[in-house]
Structure formats: C-alpha cells, structure tokens
Amino acid sequence: MAFEEKPKNVKELFRTHWIVWKWLGQVPNPKYPKLYRVYAILLNICFSIGYPLHLQLGLLNLLKLEDVFLNLTISVPVTVCSLKYLNIWRNLDKIRHLEKMFNILYTRINTPDEWKYYREVTIPNALKVLHLFYFICLGTAVTSELTLLVMGFTYDWRLMYPAYFPFDPYASTGKYVTAHMFQIFGLLLQLAENLVSDTYGGMCLALLAGHAHLLGKRVARIGYDKNKSTEENNRELLDFITDHNMLFDCHRSIGEIIGAGMFIQIISASLIMGVVIIYMVFYVSNAFEYIYYGIYLFGCIMEIFPTCYFGTYFEIEFDKLTYMLFSCNWMDQSRVFKKNLGICLEQSLKKRIFRVGGMFRISLNIFFATCKGAYSLLAVALSMK
C-alpha cells in the first residue's frame, strides 16, 4: 500500500486532544516556559477552579427551588468536568506511553486486508466518538447563547445560571456583560475540557478493539503458507505473543488513565441526568430552552456511552482471540510451536475487563444501570409533585 493511502496514525488521530491540552495549559511551550506557566496557572485558577466554585457558592444563596435545579444542571457537571480534566493532566506521561504502544501496533499492519479493516472500521469507529462530541459541544454552546438572547429580548435579561459574583451583575450593563462573558467563556472552556476528557477513553478502546481484531486475523493465518518453515511459523507466533502482551499493557494503561475520571462520572451520571430531566419537565416553558436542554441531556448521556460501548466491544474482540488461535494450522507445527501456543492460550483465557474504583465494570450494563438510576430519580420527583 502506498504511503499516501495509509489511514491516520495515532498522532494524527489525537491531534485535536493535544491542541486542546496545549491551549488549556497542560502541555508546556518549550519556547516560553515561564510565560506559559503563568498562563496555565491563571487560566486554571480562573476557570478550572473558579468557574465551578462561583456556581457552588451561588447555590448556597438560592431560595427558589427552580433556581436550585437550574444551578444544579450546570454546577454538578462542571465540577465533575474539572475533576476529569485534572485526572487527565496528571496522566499525560501515561498517555504519551500509550500512544507509543499504539504506534508500534500500527506498524504491525502489513497486508491489504488489514489496512482495509483499519481504514474502514477501526479509524471510523474512533472518529465517530470525536465527531459526536463536536456536535454536542457546538450545539450546547450555540443553543445556550441563543436561548439567553431570545429570553432576554422576549422577557428579561438574566445570566445563564444563577451563581455567586463579588458584585451585583444586574447593577449596570457593564457588570452584566462582565458576568455574562465570564460564564460563556467558562462554559466554552468546560466544553473543551469535556471534549478531550470524554472522547479519549472511547477512542482508545475503539483502537484497541480494532488491533485485537487484526491480531486475531494475523494469528489465524499462521501455518498455511507452505513456503514458510516451521521455524518461521514459530517466529510469527512469538511476534503474536509480543503483540498480545502489548494489548495487555495498553489495556492496563487505558484503565489507569481514565479509571478515576470514569469512576467520578458514573457516580454522578444518574444525578446529573435526573436533575436535567426534572428541570425540563417542571420548569422549561419555551421551545428554545427545550432544544438547549435536549442537546444538553443528550451530551450528559453520551459522556459515558462511547466508553461503555467500546469497553464491551473490546471484550468481545479480545475473547475471539482464543478461538482465532485454534484457527491457525497448529497441528502441522513443531513441538516448540505447540508449547508456545499452549502458553499463549492460557494467557488468552484470562478475561480482560475494565473495572474502575473496584466497583464498576465499564460496559453497556453500567450505562443502562446509570440511565435506570436517572429514571428512578425522576420517578421520585414525580411522586412528590
């Protein structure tokens, strides 16, 4: 396959993530290290810490139940978003190591069929996660501002969310614009943080599932080429074992990178979705707000769905490896080959699952359980109406 026909490698696939991490102050600039450090500190104090804090402090002063629910629809997700963002920040070295392993697996692809699968299945699966969040983030940003403008011209001007400010934002036009700009800019930064935090795990799992599938196809071909000796077949099996162990390392690294963030997300997901649904049912009264909170709710659901979906997808592809091992022509091989095959089979029989916090298995089951939790919260609210 010509070089220009090759699909995106890992560096190209995660280019958006590294650009956003750089703009958010996570990747130092070698040309201006001191200036960049000041920029990173100020940005994160103001928005990664200050933005959630101004919402939480504002919650303490709210008297109306409607305002409480409105505040909760953003304060809880924003707090969770900042925690996930900080978790990614502390794992950047592990992310670099993981991408090196993915690059090694990328170089193992060497047949037209493998390139076709990687180009037409694996890469599109990973990009679907990223493109989905492009839509969610853009839709949330645009509809939030449009809703505020429509409500302002139609009824009265208000902030996006009730929150604490050291001044009265309604005292003058200048103060209102200042408070509004802080909230909209903070929302955009939070959306950027969510974009990279919530897509990274799903995209990595999609890649890992794809490489597991390709590895299975590779091992199933061993022993059928009559031009190769038993020694060459054994070397191919040893290469498979090396790549198989690399899948284990990638699996472990992904768990370490996204584990804490996913644990926090799952713990809070039912509450976030439940609060948003309750606010939509009881307090939303116009079409623009329904559109905004509809997209917002869809985004809340999608924060965990891609990772859960591809977590299950990876388990299925990994389990297939055991059967693909038996598909190779092992009967005509040497004793050394069969011994190595037996060892590899023992390894492949170990179930590989993602579990975070020692409690939650990252699969579609936990996603559906989270949705049921949100429905239960809504049912309780309806019964108390």
pLDDT tens series, the chain, 385 aa:
444 455 677 888 999 999 999 999 888 877 888 899 999 999 999 999 999 999 999 998 888 888 898 899 999 999 999 999 999 999 999 999 999 999 999 999 988 999 999 999 999 999 999 999 999 999 988 888 888 888 787 777 888 888 999 999 988 989 999 999 999 999 999 999 999 999 999 999 999 999 999 999 999 999 898 888 889 999 999 999 999 999 989 999 999 999 889 999 988 888 899 899 988 888 888 888 888 888 988 988 888 999 999 999 999 998 888 888 888 888 888 899 889 888 888 877 777 777 776 778 888 999 999 998 888 888 887 776 6
- How far apart, in whole angstroms, are the C-alpha atoms of residue 322 and residue 2? 33
Measured torsion, CA atoms of residues 156, 158, 160, 162, in degrees rounded to the nearest 10: -140
Pairing of strands 360-361, 355-356: antiparallel
Instruction: Give helix then strand counts, H and E, for the chain.
Output: 14, 2
**Separation between Cα atoms, residue 72 and residue 261, nearest integer Å:** 20
Instruction: Give every CB contact of residue 310 below 8 A, 6+ residues apart in sequence.
Output: 125, 129, 202, 205, 206, 209
Cα separation, 66 vs 244, in Å, equals 54
Residues 120, 7: contact at Cβ < 8 Å? no
C-alpha–C-alpha distance, residues 308 and 355, integer Å = 11
Place of tokens 């859960």: 308
Residues 6 or more apart from 229 whose CB is under 8 A from it?
A: none
Q: Which residues contact 265 (CB under 8 A, 6 or more apart)?
A: 80, 84, 198, 303, 304
Question: What DSSP element (H or E) covers 361?
Answer: strand 360-361
Q: How far apart are CA 300 and CA 292, in angstroms?
A: 12
Contact call for residues 199 and 130 (beta carbons, < 8 A): yes
Amino acid 1: pLDDT: 43
DSSP state of 355: E
pLDDT at site 191: 92
State pTM to two decimals: 0.90
Question: 355 forms bridges with which residues in the sheet?
Answer: 361
- Residues facing 356 on adjacent strands: 360
**Rounded to an integer, what distance in angstroms lies between the CA atom of residue 200 and that of residue 15?**
11
